[in-house]
Structure 1
Amino acid sequence: MVNGKVGVLTIGQSPRTDVTPSIQAILGNEIQIIERGGLDSLTEETLEEIAPELSSTTYISRLRNGKSVKIAKDKLLPLLQQELTALEEEADVIIMLCTGDFPTLTTTKPIIYPDKVLSHSLQAIQKNGNLGLIIPLEEQRESLIGKWKNLKMDIFVEVASPYEESDIKGAGEKLKKKGADVIVLDCMGYNEIQKQEVKQVFGGPVILPRTLTARIAAEYVL
């Protein structure tokens, strides 16, 4: 018996078989997940339409074939709004599957933004100290530091992609040496295994956006 419907909106292509099982495990089988993606209308031949330029705010996500893709935010937004408008017709609440900010998106349904969940959660539990970020792309460094400045914590950043082979454990070790008190894996692509790899070498709290956000959604629908 289905007791509710949660929409999952990825900035890449749906289905996100690498992420939604984590969300479903927290929501339980009574909740139906409905997926859409900002790039669902694109093919491998037309993906160049969303390629970043030097001045672009760049995101990274996953295609349905398992490959990762870099995305220009300004080119993504109209496509994302189109999919969101369709998704709100089917879902009770929507999870944005990206830790970026999307203030221009409009919807008639409640939407859970992981970046807001993360920042407010850290404000509530970590009043001071040093924040360690593990991020997917070097070109995101400055924009993500800017996003977290409101916490008034010293910020240390290491780069390790959740989608390509990278040294996530090494990134955790470096952040520990720099003096981080808490680490955020700042992308919905990071998974539970990668979190544990970081936690093994770090020893302190490691925040995984996909599971934190899913727990907020569960509180809303269950």
Structure 2
Amino acid sequence: MRPIGLLTIGQSPRTDIEPALAGILGANVPLVCEGALDGLSSEQLGELEAPAGPAGIETRLADGSTVVVRRDALPSLLRAAVARLPSDVRLAAYLCTGALPDIAREGLLLLDSGAILHGTVAATAQGRRLGVISLPSDLADAPESWAHHGPEVLYAAADPYGDGPPVTEAARELADSGATLLVLDCMGFDAGHQAEAARGSALPVICPAVVLGHALTALTVPDPEHRAR
């Protein structure tokens, strides 16, 4: 079984995401995670930090802490991370719901997890009022990504890393404001957060890590040299 590549804009491993994906894909599917910030010193990380907002994107480091990284620094770092994936990786995905660069590597299909999440929401939200639960650092910019999904999209903040508002409160706030469908807008939210949001709101909840896991199971990427003749 060929390994599946995972690309995080922070550091690997992503112990908050990889077990959930393994549970969906099956124990026989190897996962290989590379991070845009892998191998960087604390000084180098400090040079990449940015204020929250359009110039920065929040991600997780290997020690469980978080950092806001300059968006303009990510393309070159992600290209290096893609290059570090083993040569036998034919399928990979970003562990991020935001817009990231399309990086080409011969024989590699790299999934845009954010686009997959938006497609799932578009297919589900028809006639429903969408409520988006974003990281506190991303909340001000969330309408730029989600406003096109309806005439009145609602927003609330929650932190999957435990340093900010709990997801249950955000979900209840959105339900009380009239949302009828919720989406968790960060790959750090897992199935446990999804269940908490559902309990807090009594609404259907879309979880990006779960969506990505099932998208990966739907794909087969054979070796080009094995094409039937």
Give the TM-score normalised by structure 2.
0.88
Letter in 2 for 1:197: E
Structure 2 partner of 1:14? 12
User: What's the secondary structure of 1:76's corresponding residue?
Assistant: helix
CA contact (8 A) 2:103 2:110 kept: no
Aligned counterpart, 2:226: none
Does the CA-based 8 Å contact 2:48-2:73 persist in structure 1? yes
Equivalent residue, structure 2, for 1:66: 64
Calculate the TM-score normalised by the size of structure 1: 0.91
Structure 2 residue ranges without an equivalent (≥5): 222-229
* Deviation of 1:124 (Å): 1.6
Partner of 2:117: 118
The code of the aligned residue for 2:27 comes to N
Task: Please name the residue that 2:181 is paired with.
Answer: 182
Asked if structure 1 preserves the Cα contact closer than 8 Å seen for 2:94 and 2:112, the reply is yes
Q: Given that residues 58 and 71 in structure 1 are in contact (C-alpha distance below 8 angstroms), is that contact kept between their aligned partners in structure 2?
A: yes
Q: How does 1:58-137 map to 2 (within 5 A)?
A: 58-87=56-85, 89-108=87-106, 109-137=108-136
How far apart are residue 104 of structure 1 and its match? 4.8
Q: Which moved more, 1:142-151 or 1:199-208?
A: 142-151
> In the TM superposition, what is the alpha-carbon distance from 1:66 to its structure 2 partner?
1.2
After superposition, the C-alpha distances for 1:99-156 in whole angstroms (9 at most, x for unaligned) are: 0011453333111222111111122222133111111124x23432111233234211
Between 179-188 and 140-149, report the one with greater CA deviation. Answer: 140-149
Distance 2:155 2:101 in 1: 25
Residues 56, 145 of structure 1: CA spacing in aligned structure 2 closer, same or farther, 3 A cutoff? closer
- Give, in angstroms, the shift of residue 93 of structure 1: 0.5
1:4 is displaced (CA, Å) by 2.4
Equivalent residue number for residue 208 of structure 1: 207
Contact preservation (8 Å) 1:4, 1:30? no
| Residue 36 of structure 2 corresponds to residue 38 of structure 1 | yes
Instruction: Check 1:6–1:153 CA distance in 2 against 1; reply closer, same or farther (3 A cut).
Output: farther
Q: Tell me, in whole angstroms, the C-alpha distance in 1 between the residues paired with 2:88 and 2:4.
A: 9
Q: Secondary structure at the match of 1:134?
A: strand
1:150 matched residue in structure 2: 148
CA contact (8 A) 1:131 1:153 kept: no
Identity %: 27
Counterpart position of 1:198: 197
Is the CA contact 2:130–2:149 (under 8 Å) kept in the aligned structure 1?
A: no
Residue 28 to residue 55, structure 1, CA distance change in 2 (3 Å): closer
Give the count of matched residue pairs: 219
Larger radius of gyration: 2
Pick which of 119-128 and 188-197 moved more: 119-128
- Unpaired runs of 5+ in structure 1? none
Q: Call closer, same or farther: CA 1:206–1:14 in 2, change over 3 Å.
A: same
What CA deviation, in whole Å up to 9, does each residue of 1:4-59 have, x standing for no partner?
Answer: 21000001100111110000111112211011000003122321121114774321
Separation in 2, partners of 1:39, 1:90 = 22
Q: 1:187, CA displacement in angstroms?
A: 0.4
| Larger displacement relative to structure 2 (200-209 or 117-126) | 117-126
Q: Which amino acid aligns with 1:4?
A: R
